[in-house]
Structure 1
Amino acid sequence: MQFSKMYDIENDFVVVDSVTQDIYLKSKIVRRLSNRNFGIGFNKLLLIEPPFYSNVDFHYRVFDKNGIEIRKYGNGILCFSIFVFIKKLVYKKNISVSINKWKIKLNINKKNLICVNMGKPQFYLSKDFLCKNEISHNIRRISLVKKIVYTGIVFLGNFHYVVIVNDINCFECLMKHLILKGDLVFLTNIDINVMQIMDTKNVILRVYEYNLGEIKGSEIGACASVSLGIQQGKLEKNVLVNLLHGTLKINWGGYDSPVFMLGTAIHVYDGFIDLKKWV
């Protein structure tokens, strides 16, 4: 099996092309390959497949290091985009791809920057998510930490609980309140995005992912958080998001418009491994 090692703002990936290779990976093989001492070593594996639909170019799937398929919107989209371009699996700049039940459109420019249409955000709060403090006008103030400015819930592929603060260093304290004291009722696949607004064009973002803890970054989390800031008039329509391991540019034109993300991924090396030894 030929593979490529890549990384983006969120994870290090092993990317496998099953368009030109006949590859089938069982969960136990993925787990063994993810081992950093005895395998290739990675946080996530991205498997690129032929399209399932007539109006898309590719389908891709993402697996965590335990061999479990991750069914989250847009996960690994930057690594996917750079891979199909540098491996010449596609020669056009505008690409459509499916992941799980979603379809995503993207464009690759001359500088290998990827512009991705991440879909339209939806904003609301609900008693199904929050169990303390009254809910009002889709935004509420909470008194858990004095440095919290606003909070809101955004649906963009999955649900995001966005907390706008005036000091990103309160992240750990905030997590103790929200996780340990039960101020948030979690449903499946809800992430907490903590965002500090530096000015109207720059933010700092840290992300706590459901069942995983803090992660290095989140492409979809950046889009959800910035769209909330723009909706509330705190940010301009073009924003630079600073994450733990890189930056993303987010653009949102407002109501009923899709969010656009601009970013890239890094190709580290190519490799080959004999899967027969791993069966």
Structure 2
Amino acid sequence: MRFTKMHGLGNDFVVLDGTQAPVTLDEVCARAIADRHFGIGCDQILIVEAARSANADFGYRILNSDGSESGQCGNGARCFARYVREQGLTDKREIVVDVRDGQMVLESLGDEHYRVALGIPAFNPADIPLCGFDTADEYRLDDVAGRTICFAALSIGNPHAVLRVDDIDSADVESVGPALESHPAFPERVNVGFMQVVTPQHIRLRVYERGAGETLACGSGAAAAAIVGMRAGVLEPSVAVELPGGTATVDWAGEGRQVYLSGPAERVFDGELVSSKAGG
């Protein structure tokens, strides 16, 4: 099985082509591929598939490093867009892809930069999903890693909780991240973002991703944090999101509108899976 290793701002991926023959990986195989000591190593595995809808160009599946499936990955989507063009699977600059919970539009901007339409954010707790709350701008839990946590929550194809902090360097990501990710209030777990507002056009962000832990970048997490700041009136409609792996741009025109994520996508190397433990 051939693969390509890619990354978007350090958020790294193993990309597999399932357009000619289906790629089936169970959780054991996915974890073996993602293992950074005994496998290739990655935050997520991206599988390119044939389109499932008449108006789509491709299908797109995402497996986390623990083998669970995700419905959204903005950094991965940019890598997906570069992959299908470089592999000669399409020559379109704009493509539509089927994802688990709908569709995404991916656009090549040139110079290895891509823009992704992530969808329309959902704020209803039932749509996130977030249990035990009515819709609010901010939620509170009193039993997260032994402390009270206030956060905003939304879904952009996957659930996000965003905490505003004074300084991401001193934020307690290591304990609050996993505690909130697996809190019973989030029945499908949650991506946890720690946001520091620098200026109305610039934020800093760390993200503890469900199924992957803290990563160098999270595209949908960048969008979620920016949206939270925009709704709170502290951020402009276009924001630079500085993550440990680099900077992405989020644009959002407001309620009921698509959110867009722009940034680079890099190919690292190509290889072949040969270990039976990794599905080869």
TM > 0.5: yes
What secondary structure is seen at the aligned counterpart in 2 of 1:223?
helix
Structure with a larger share of its residues in strand: 2
Shift of residue 170, structure 1, vs aligned partner? 4.0
Which residue of 2 is the match for residue 53 of structure 1? Answer: 53
| Pairs within 5 Å for 1:124-203 | 129=131, 138-139=137-138, 151-172=151-172, 175-176=175-176, 179=179, 185-203=185-203
Shift of residue 84, structure 1, vs aligned partner? 0.8
Task: Give the letter for the 1:235 counterpart.
Answer: L
Closer/same/farther in 2, CA of residues 179 and 46 from structure 1, 3 Å limit: closer
8 Å contact 2:65–2:211 — kept in the other structure?
Answer: no
8 Å contact 1:149–1:164 — kept in the other structure?
Answer: no
Distance 1:35 1:174 in 2: 20
8 Å contact 2:132–2:185 — kept in the other structure?
Answer: yes
Closer/same/farther in 2, CA of residues 172 and 275 from structure 1, 3 Å limit: closer
- What TM-score results when the alignment is normalised by the length of structure 2? 0.81
- What TM-score results when the alignment is normalised by the length of structure 1? 0.81
Distance 2:261 2:275 in 1: 36
Task: Give the letter for the 1:63 counterpart.
Answer: L
What secondary structure is seen at the aligned counterpart in 1 of 2:85?
helix
Closer/same/farther in 2, CA of residues 34 and 168 from structure 1, 3 Å limit: closer
8 Å contact 2:131–2:186 — kept in the other structure?
Answer: yes
Shift of residue 230, structure 1, vs aligned partner? 0.9
Pair member with larger Rg: 1
Closer/same/farther in 2, CA of residues 34 and 187 from structure 1, 3 Å limit: closer
Distance 1:35 1:139 in 2: 36
Identity level (%):
29
What secondary structure is seen at the aligned counterpart in 2 of 1:89?
coil
8 Å contact 2:62–2:72 — kept in the other structure?
Answer: no
**Unaligned ranges ≥5, structure 1:** none
8 Å contact 1:168–1:204 — kept in the other structure?
Answer: yes
Task: Give the letter for the 2:82 counterpart.
Answer: I
Distance 1:56 1:215 in 2: 30
Shift of residue 130, structure 1, vs aligned partner? 6.8
Residue 9 (structure 1) aligned with residue 26 (structure 2): no
Closer/same/farther in 2, CA of residues 177 and 88 from structure 1, 3 Å limit: closer
* Residues 77-135 of structure 1: per-residue CA shift (max 9 Å, x gap): 12111101222211111100012132001211222211111111233569x5578xxx8
Equivalences, count: 270
Higher mean C-alpha deviation, range 91-100 or range 23-32: 23-32
Which residue of 2 is the match for residue 22 of structure 1? Answer: 21
**Unaligned ranges ≥5, structure 2:** none
Higher mean C-alpha deviation, range 89-98 or range 105-114: 105-114
Shift of residue 62, structure 1, vs aligned partner? 1.9
Closer/same/farther in 2, CA of residues 9 and 153 from structure 1, 3 Å limit: same
Closer/same/farther in 2, CA of residues 16 and 184 from structure 1, 3 Å limit: closer
Distance 2:89 2:263 in 1: 20
Which residue of 1 is the match for residue 71 of structure 2? Answer: 72
Distance 2:117 2:260 in 1: 5
Shift of residue 151, structure 1, vs aligned partner? 3.4
Task: Give the letter for the 1:71 counterpart.
Answer: S
Distance 1:234 1:164 in 2: 11
Higher mean C-alpha deviation, range 214-223 or range 52-61: 214-223
Which residue of 2 is the match for residue 81 of structure 1? Answer: 81
Shift of residue 23, structure 1, vs aligned partner? 4.9
What secondary structure is seen at the aligned counterpart in 1 of 2:225?
helix
